[in-house]
Amino acid sequence: MNNKKIVEIFSKSLGISEEIICDSLEYNSIPEWDSIAHMTLISELEDGFDIMLDTDDIIEMSSVSKAKDILGKHNISF
């Protein structure tokens, strides 16, 4: 359930298809995941999971798997 949701959010925020979203996908490794998309992503994750991300959460979110770890800290399990 949460897995599906996070993939949808990544796909929508970065404007990429769901198939290429995997745990190892990293920030800045594809042109679509730049700082502009990252800002959208953060807001969408906050809205989608109803959480507030702090500075460390945002600047440490360097990959899909990191994003899952960070959401895990906010009691969202995958």
40 binds other proteins (CB under 8 A): yes
Answer for which of 7, 21, 25, 58 binds other proteins (CB under 8 A) is: 58
- Between residues 20 and 39, which has the closer beta carbon with respect to other proteins? 39
Interior/surface letters 23-59, b for 16+ CB within 10 angstroms, e for the rest? eebebeeeeebeeebbeebbebbeebbeeebeeebee
- Between residues 3 and 28, which has the closer beta carbon with respect to other proteins? 28
30 binds other proteins (CB under 8 A): no
Residue in 21, 36, 34, 31 with CA at minimum distance from that of residue 67: 21
Residue ranges in contact with other proteins by CB under 8 A: 15, 27-28, 31-32, 34-40, 42, 54-56, 58-60, 62
